[in-house]
Amino acid sequence: MTTVVAGGDSFVWGSELADSPHGGPDGYSKNTFPALLATNYVCAAYPGIGNREIGLRVREYLNWMRNDVAVVVCWTWPTRDNQTDSDRDITSLQEYLEFHDYRYMFLCADNCVVTGQLDYSNWFFFPPGEPPHQVSTPRGFYQWARENKYLCGTDNHPLEQAHQDAARLMQEKFNELVKKPVQ
Q: Where are the domains of the chain?
A: 3-177
Output the pLDDT for position 16.
Answer: 93
Average pLDDT over residues 64-92: 93
- Domain covering 3-177, topology: Rossmann fold (3.40.50)
Kindly indicate the confidence band of residue 182, based on its pLDDT and cuts at 50, 70 and 90: very low
Output the pLDDT for position 142.
Answer: 96
Pure H helices in the chain? 10-13, 33-37, 51-64, 87-99, 141-147, 160-177
Q: Provide the whole-model pTM.
A: 0.92
pLDDT tens, 135-180? 667 899 999 999 899 999 999 999 999 999 999 999 999 998 887 6
SS (H, E, C) 94-123: HHHHHHCCCEEEEEECCHHHCCCCCCCCCE
Please state, in angstroms and rounded to a whole number, the distance separating the CA atoms of residues 11 and 57: 15
Residue length, the chain?
183
pLDDT tens, 19-75? 986 655 558 999 999 999 998 999 999 999 999 999 999 999 999 887 789 999 999
Output the pLDDT for position 1.
Answer: 81
